[in-house]
Structure formats: C-alpha cells, structure tokens
Amino acid sequence: MYTEELISVIPYKEIVGQLPTTIKDISIDSRSVQPKSIFICIKGYTVDGHDYAQKAVEMGAIVIVTERKLQLEGEVAQIIVQDTNRALGLLAAKFFEYPSNDITMIGVTGTNGKTSVSGIIHHMLIGMGEKSAVSGTIGFNLNGVLYESANTTSDALSTQQMIFRAKMEGCRAMVMEVSSHGLALGRLAGVDYDVAVFTNLTHDHLDFHGTMENYGNAKGLLFSQLGQDLTKNKSVILNADDPWSEKYAQLTPYPVWTYGLKNDANFRAENCCYDDNITTFDMITPEGKFPVSMKLIGEFNVYNILAATAVFYSRGFELEAIIEQIEDLNPVRGRMEKIVTDLPLQIFIDYAHTPDAIEKAINAALPYKKPDKKIIFLVGTGGNRDKSKRPAMAEKASKADYVVLTTDDPRYEEYDSITGDLEKGMQHENYACIGDRAEAVRHAVSVAEPGDIIIFAGKGHEDYQIIGNTKYPHSDAEIAIEAGRLKFV
Ligand SMILES: CC(=O)N[C@H]1[C@@H](OP(=O)(O)OP(=O)(O)OC[C@H]2O[C@@H](n3ccc(=O)[nH]c3=O)[C@H](O)[C@@H]2O)O[C@H](CO)[C@@H](O)[C@@H]1O[C@H](C)C(=O)N[C@@H](C)C(=O)N[C@H](CCC(=O)O)C(=O)O
C-alpha cells in the first residue's frame, strides 16, 4: 500500500526521516515484524512497545509510529502521533480497506451473556444459510475452525485482521463480543457496526474501570460510536430490564429495539416454563404472540433468545424463520451446559464469575431441583484481579444448599487469600474452602447424593487453570465424572 495513502487517515505531529513509497505489512509486535512493515509502538501494562522499536527495525520495519521521537539506527522514518492506540485502529482499518463496511457487523456487549448471545446469533445465521464468523472469549470461529485469542476483544490490528479474513472467506456477517476493555482501550477504532446489542451491566472489572459509572460509560461507547458510516441501516438492541439501557438509548442516533421479561419492551416472554431440558414460553412481538419451545435452559437464556430475535427482526428476517432457528439451537458450550454422564447427578458447567451471573446460574437450576435434594455450587475467583466482587459472589452462591469456595486461575495470589475474601460473603455455614480447584471439584462430588445438582462455575469453556503464569490443563467435568464414578458406579 502507498505509505502516503495509508497515513492520510491519522493525525500526526511530525514526520522524521524520509517516508518510503510503499509499505507491505503492519505490526505491533517486534517479534513478528515482516520486511518493509510499519510498526506501531503500543504502551502495554507489562512492557512498552516503544522499547521494541529498534528490534522492529532490525526485523524489517521501515516506518515507526510513535508517541515520542526515538533514537533509532537504520533506514527508518518515524511518524510522531499523540496516541498510538488510536492511530493503530485507524491505520489497521485503512490497511485492510475497512472490511467491516463490507459485511454485517453485530457487536454484543454487557457483563454477562456476551458469549451466549454471540454464539446464538452466529448459529442462527448459519442455520438461515448466511455464512458467519464469530469472535470472543472462546476465540475466533471462522468456518468451523476455532483460532485462539488472548482477549475477548482483541487488539485493533487483530480485530481488523479477523474481519478481513471473515470477508475474504465469504462471510456475510461477523458477530463480535465487545468488552469494556476493548472499548476503553480503543481496540475497536475503525470498526463499523450494523447492530449493537446490550445484555446487562453488573459488578465486574472494577480493578480496571474504578467505578460502575466508568464501566457503564465504557460500554456506552459501543452505542454512541456505532461506526462512521451514517448511511447504513443500523440498529441498537437494548435490555429493557436493565437501568443502563435508558442511558444508552439516549446516546444513540439509531433506531432502538428493546427486549425483556419485566418491563415493557418490543420483544417479551410470557408463560415461561422450565422443564427437564426444554424451555417453553410465549414470545410477544410487534407482530403478535408466538409459542416457542427450545433446548436452552434457564431464564437468562430466554433473555438471550429475545435479544437475538430483536437482532434478526431489526435486519428484516421473518419471525417464523427466526423461531424455527431458535427451536433448532443447541446449548452454548460451557454456559449452563448439562454434562451427559452415567452418574445419578445433574452436572452443569457454567462460566459465571460475577455475582449477577452466579445468581442467574442458580436461578436457572432451581426448576430442575427435586424435592429434598441439594444444589451444590462450586464458585472460584481469579487471583490478582478485581477483589471487590469476591464477597458478593459468595453471597449470591449462598442461595445454593452447599457451597464450595475455590480459585479460578489463582495466578500469583495465595489460595487462602482468595477463598478468605469469598468466605466473607457467605450467608450460611454449609460450605468448604478448598483452594486447589481439582480438590474442590472432588469435594463437591463427595458431598453429593443421588438426585443432587452440582454447578461448577467460573471455568465454562476453559480447559486450563493458570497458576503463576503457567496454564495447567484442567477440566471440572472430567474431574467430576472420575470422582463420581469412584463414588457411585
Ligand atoms: C491489561 C490488558 O488489557 N493487557 C493487554 C495488553 O497486554 P500488555 O499491556 O501486557 O501488553 P504487552 O504485552 O506489555 O505489550 C505492549 C506492546 O509491546 C509489544 N511488544 C512486546 C514484547 C516484545 O518483545 N515486542 C513487542 O513489540 C506488544 O506486541 C504490544 O504491542 O495487550 C495484549 C495484546 O493486545 C493483551 O492480550 C493484554 O490483555 C491481557 C491478556 C488481559 O488479561 N486483558 C484483560 C484485562 C482484558 O482485556 N479483558 C477484556 C475483558 C474480558 C471480559 O469481558 O471478561 C478482554 O477483552 O479480554
């Protein structure tokens, strides 16, 4: 690409040296710079990309985008900008020729439910014959191949690369989980969304945002900055039962569709009935009432389905076709996923790692609880991350008959420090603190009786436990099944 053309999209203070006519690649990581690249220096939390500019030059970078003039050896030009993060989003979007303009982009934000709603929309799109890609906590799923990603919302360069790849592979749509970090750190600069969805906002990530106000405002960026192309037929989908939706509705210039169970909304559910493995309800829509029967369990999934319905309706799909897809959907991996076993127990794996999600997980299981049987809830929290939510997590978990307090990626923190913080929120005495997660899982099975429900919360789809900075293989389901076989079979 012509260098002048590429850099025309960023405001800069100064250019030092002679710009090359063209550049071949764009990079933010000195370790993978290709010859004739432009390298953008990003200040990280652990290291500063500016310190790797010389290494990038040695690897073949011929232009460096930097926040300050650097002493560099070799044939290289420097472009000095105010904010390299913002420059990165704009350069990456231009380099890949704004791929988000060519496919339908659906962004899903909120504390809980992002992965489920994104997965549901993705699978419904495929069911309707629309080739789709999805990115988020689970990774980047392109044509059934799952690529790992470090973040729910990847850095701006990886984001543009993913959208470009989806476009090149013929996808008509891409569904993206949009995290508050992603929005606050400018990882989505240059992405043009067609639909933005809000699930809910509850306590999480206050170590990063400081206050709920800041956290909510970061999420709001998705609705105020849906993208630059004002001619697109865009829409915003909001949860009418979450107080933040009112604020987001005021922020956006685009048509809003609401959904919910309690307050007045465009899409509502009535007469919800949660039977073993089947949920039924009447969906109240702008076109009347439609009976729905689906394999997804729990009230939170009714919310998720209403959100997905609003997305499709806003894009002009027929309600009959939407409901047909809903009835075909299978549960999302690691989200109140019922594990099939030969044990006399009901075992659910869930990703709940916030107080609100824990409450929802237990509420979702309540209809399946048999008289005189227990719900055993295992709850873990991450080390060296938001500690303020820990007591509230245990408080919500106290709704279960028996609680196992443990860790979920302890990182560098002592087990006792994590379980001790959780313990402060316990509302009854039926619990155990066991920092080692594998031991905790075995303990949960050891206290179970036939007919009980066990919910393992926190790991969801994840198959590892991070201790120190090492990822160790870990599966709650496998450990539980093994322990259950020893006990019951
Ligand atoms: C706090 C935070 O967001 N950190 C993110 C950040 O890492 P970092 O600050 O440590 O960056 P760094 O590794 O120091 O590198 C800085 C720069 O130097 C460059 N570098 C580095 C080393 C080198 O040899 N050469 C080089 O050029 C890097 O490529 C980078 O450009 O940049 C990385 C690359 O983009 C991210 O993967 C990483 O996310 C970490 C893994 C993380 O845990 N982030 C969490 C807090 C997060 O973002 N979570 C949200 C929310 C999830 C949710 O909703 O639950 C998410 O979207 O994932």
47 and 91 inside one domain: yes
pLDDT score of 231: 67
Expressed in angstroms and rounded, the spacing between residue 159 Cα and the centre of ligand 1 is 13
Contact 408, 381 (CB under 8 A): yes
- Which segments of 216-342 are extended strands (E)? 235-239, 256-260, 267-275, 278-285, 288-294, 337-339
365 and 237 inside one domain: no
* Residue 229 pLDDT > 80: no
290 and 349 inside one domain: no
121 and 257 inside one domain: yes
416 and 291 inside one domain: no
Kindly report the length of the chain.
Answer: 489
243 and 381 inside one domain: no
Domain boundary pick from 328, 349, 373: 328
Expressed in angstroms and rounded, the spacing between residue 111 Cα and the centre of ligand 1 is 20
Residue bearing the CA closest to ligand 1, atom 34: 155
Full residue range of the structural domain in which residue 460 is found: 337-488
Q: CA nearest 86: which of 227, 188, 209, 158?
A: 188
CATH number at residue 83: 3.40.1390.10
230 and 125 inside one domain: yes
Candidate from 151, 154, 353 with most ligand 1 atoms within 8 A of CB, to mutate:
151
pLDDT score of 367: 87
Expressed in angstroms and rounded, the spacing between residue 155 Cα and the centre of ligand 1 is 8
260 and 391 inside one domain: no
380 and 309 inside one domain: no
CATH number at residue 123: 3.40.1190.10
Residue range 113-127: mean pLDDT, rounded:
96
**Predicted confidence (pLDDT) per residue in 366-391, tens digit:** 988 999 999 999 999 999 999 999 99
Residues in contact with ligand 1 by the CB-under-6-Å rule are 28-31, 42, 44-47, 49, 52, 150-153, 155, 179, 181-182
**Predicted confidence (pLDDT) per residue in 74-95, tens digit:** 999 999 999 999 899 999 999 9
**Predicted confidence (pLDDT) per residue in 137-171, tens digit:** 989 999 889 999 989 999 999 999 999 999 999 99
* Residue 63 pLDDT > 80: yes
* Residue 281 pLDDT > 90: yes
Residue appearing with tokens 């250019």: 15
Expressed in angstroms and rounded, the spacing between residue 45 Cα and the centre of ligand 1 is 7
* Residue 225 pLDDT > 80: no
217 and 357 inside one domain: no
Residue 309 and residue 239: Cα distance in Å, rounded?
A: 12
Expressed in angstroms and rounded, the spacing between residue 28 Cα and the centre of ligand 1 is 11
pLDDT score of 124: 97
- With the C-alpha atoms ordered 169, 141, 304, 177, is the resulting torsion angle positive or negative? negative
How many structural domains comprise the chain? Answer: 3
Closest-lying ligand 1 atom to the alpha carbon of residue 41: 31
pLDDT score of 230: 62
346 and 293 inside one domain: no
Expressed in angstroms and rounded, the spacing between residue 184 Cα and the centre of ligand 1 is 13
**Sorting pLDDT into bands at 50, 70 and 90, what band is 208?**
confident
Token readout for 413 is 């923190």
Task: Determine the residue type at 71.
Answer: Q
Residue 142 and residue 51: Cα distance in Å, rounded?
A: 34
Which ipTM did the prediction report?
Answer: 0.92
List own/partner pairs for 144-149 with CB under 8 A and 24 or more apart. Answer: none
Closest-lying ligand 1 atom to the alpha carbon of residue 353: 55
CATH number at residue 342: 3.90.190.20
Annotated binding site: 30, 110-116, 151-153, 179, 187
Helix axes 319-328, 114-127, angle to 10 degrees: 110
Candidate from 33, 34, 40, 45 with most ligand 1 atoms within 8 A of CB, to mutate:
45
Residue bearing the CA closest to ligand 1, atom 1: 45
In this structure, what DSSP letter does residue 43 have? B
Residue appearing with tokens 């869930």: 350
65 and 175 inside one domain: no
Domain boundary pick from 303, 328, 353: 328
pTM: 0.87
Query: What phi and psi, each to the nearest 5 degrees, are found at residue 290?
Result: -130, 125
Annotated binding site for ATP: 110-116
Domain boundary pick from 75, 95, 115: 95
Residue range 98-116: mean pLDDT, rounded:
95
